[in-house]
Structure 1
Amino acid sequence: MSSSSASSSLKALSKIASNRLQKELVEWQVNPPSGFKHKVTDNLQRWVIEVNGAPGTLYANETYQLQVDFPEHYPMEAPQHSSMLSSATAKQCPEDNDRYVRNCRNGRSPKQTRWWFHDDKV
């Protein structure tokens, strides 16, 4: 799904959500969390964040991009995002990753996903 088609599938933010996100973005810019950097875009509803790999993990000293989509009724509804990088023991996707990605691209929300963890550390 291209970025433009994904953006068009997002419902417009409510006034409360828009005000809240604008306030949180200003707070982020004044006092950013360590290891995270917000990439400036023209879309308040979709944040792109650069994340530094956690020290002591396979991902240390690497940078990743995390996309966070905020729903129209944020903060009453949680944003959608990804990732459980810190418990991985190898740099590889889980064996069923392709099926998960296909489901998300077909409009299924990660909130509707029944998660299956491949290790007992999570």
Structure 2
Amino acid sequence: MENWTNAKLCDVANLVLGAVLFFSPWIFGFEAGRASENATIAGIVIVALAVAALTAFAVWEEWLNLIVGLWTLVSPWVLHFQGTRAMTVHVVIGATVAILAALELWMMSQNPPRLTTNR
């Protein structure tokens, strides 16, 4: 557990959030349609990016996570399912994923990875 960093904890949180988004049509009873399709696709992408970041971190994964989080946040207005339970789930999860990705990008700018090891 000592090898876990704040960035890895953010990736685990994104993994859980992506899974919740993926299963949200069944958990929260969305109607079949744009909201449930978007939740399924965005959830899969967030989970895949979190798994990729946990196995071999790369900055581009966090940028993609930021983009997917922002898409999930604005998708109720773009896909016209505002005013629903699906909107609430998308906005909360999208904002959280985007904030976590931005936080990881900020942490990376403060402490960039070293290419050499200190002995």
Shorter chain as normaliser: what TM range?
under 0.3
Which structure has greater helix proportion?
2
Instruction: Choose between structure 1 and 2 for higher RCO, CA contacts under 8 A separated by at least 6 residues.
Output: 2
Normalised by the length of structure 2, the TM-score is 0.26
Normalised by the length of structure 1, the TM-score is 0.26
